[in-house]
Amino acid sequence: MPTVSSETRNQIITLVRDFVQNEVTPVAQQYDNEDVYPHELVEHMRSLGLFGITIPEKYGGLGLDHTTLAIIFEELSKGWMSVSGVIGTHLVMASIIAEHGTEEQKQSFLPRMASGDVRGSLGLTEPEAGSDVANIQVTAIRDQDDYVVNGNKMFITNGEHGNAVALIAKTNPSADPPQRGISCLIVEKPTEGFTVGQHIDKLGYRGLDTVELIFENARVPSRNLVGGKEGLGLRQALGALESGRINIAARAVGVATAAFEASMSYAQKRQTFGKTISQHQAIQIKLADMATKIEAARLLTYEAARKRDAGQRVDLEAGMAKLFASEICGEVTLEAMRIHGGYGYIKEYPVERYYRDAPLMIIGEGTNEIQKLVIARRLLEKHQV
């Protein structure tokens, strides 16, 4: 696994922080209010190489480790969580190809993904299948040199402005158990029969396209079957989601940190009863709890990233980090709103946006209820008697 020197990491993080401070923060509220895709910010992210964060250098990426990835996602989310989503599922798709694709697939896709020419998404969730992945209904049936794809995917980030999707589909609908019949195909735009359906109007995570994808007899070349072998799609997707859960945890830490920093600033300026509210014990207790929980979430996230970089299995650690960080983000953003009082409830202040963005991390990349089941199963495996 790649290792990054402290000097290199600090240089990269400084660039990202400057980008967030100078480019993202000044326009985030406007983009969020208008629910407009941030084309200019995305182009700047391309110029920084952020589409290739974890893509190996031999394929044109930055080849960074997951610890650096986590810090980058934290910094981006402090400015506006939606911009991290532009590269979040993109890097999940890149991970699937880098870890499981054939050399021909790596050469074909990864350099274009690293440059941002190909912007990826993950086609996993369906109208009737979210966490129950084995119940997906989209089919991809082999017909000579193509797969014919039919069905709908739902809640797909980057589904419109992205131009490729790692599609999880059933290549053998009669397989028993069902997961043995699930495969992963890379579908690029334009493909006849592959269209974007409804646009989903969301509570938070605004400015970033979340859509339905429709496949009606869409023909995908068989060479785009990841790894060149059927029946491995679920394993390929779930392995990449370990990385995805690290970036979700990091996003949660970033949003929570932004809410905390806003609260610290406000508490030292706002006066009641002749003194700043930071001098009231009730507010001090809130700030202490917020800071402690954020730091604990950050350390869980970095530990999961460290073990991922060491090549270890991290479904337990990534699940714990995602679970804890996202729940803490929900708590901290609500406390930040309470500290701000009425001002926290209006769009003039970013606190209400942090509060609206927080539930995405609780639901996304596997609901927290599912995370608890994953954690429990792994704990029972580790402590089997």
User: In whole numbers, what is the pLDDT of the chain averaged over residues?
Assistant: 96
Tokens of 117: 């020419």
Tell me whether residue 163 is exposed, middle or buried, using C-beta atoms within 10 angstroms of its C-beta: 0 to 12, 13 to 18, 19 or more. middle
Does 98 have pLDDT greater than 70?
yes
Q: Which residue has the higher pLDDT, 129 or 201?
A: 201
- pTM for this structure? 0.96
Domain 121-229: CATH superfamily, name plus number: Butyryl-CoA Dehydrogenase, subunit A, domain 2 (2.40.110.10)
How far apart, in whole angstroms, are the C-alpha atoms of residue 219 and residue 135? 22
State percent of the chain over pLDDT 70: 99
pLDDT of residue 181 exceeding 70: yes
Catalytic residue among 75, 317, 335, 365: 365
* For residue 68, pLDDT beyond 70: yes
Query: Which CATH code is given to the segment(s) 6-118?
Result: 1.10.540.10
What are the residue ranges spanned by the domains of the chain? 6-118, 121-229, 235-382
235-382: CATH topology: Butyryl-CoA Dehydrogenase, subunit A; domain 3 (1.20.140)
Q: How many residues does the chain have?
A: 385
Which one-letter DSSP state was computed for residue 21? I
DSSP state of 181: G
Q: Please say if the pLDDT value at position 42 is more than 80.
A: yes
Digit-coded pLDDT (tens) for 362-373: 999 989 999 999
Least confident of 213-217, 296-300, 381-385: 381-385
Query: What integer is the mean pLDDT of 81-101?
Result: 97
Query: Which ranges in 212-232 belong to alpha helices (H)?
Result: none
SS3 2: coil
pLDDT of residue 177: 93
Q: Are 213 and 200 in contact (CB under 8 A)?
A: no
C-alpha span between 97 and 95 (Å, rounded): 5
- CA-to-CA distance for 322 and 75, rounded, in angstroms? 17
365 is catalytic: yes
DSSP state of 200: P
**Cβ–Cβ < 8 Å for 365, 246:** no
Confidence band for 1, pLDDT divided at 50, 70 and 90: low
Q: Tokens 């650096």, residue?
A: 68
Q: Lowest-confidence range among 57-61, 258-262, 309-313?
A: 309-313
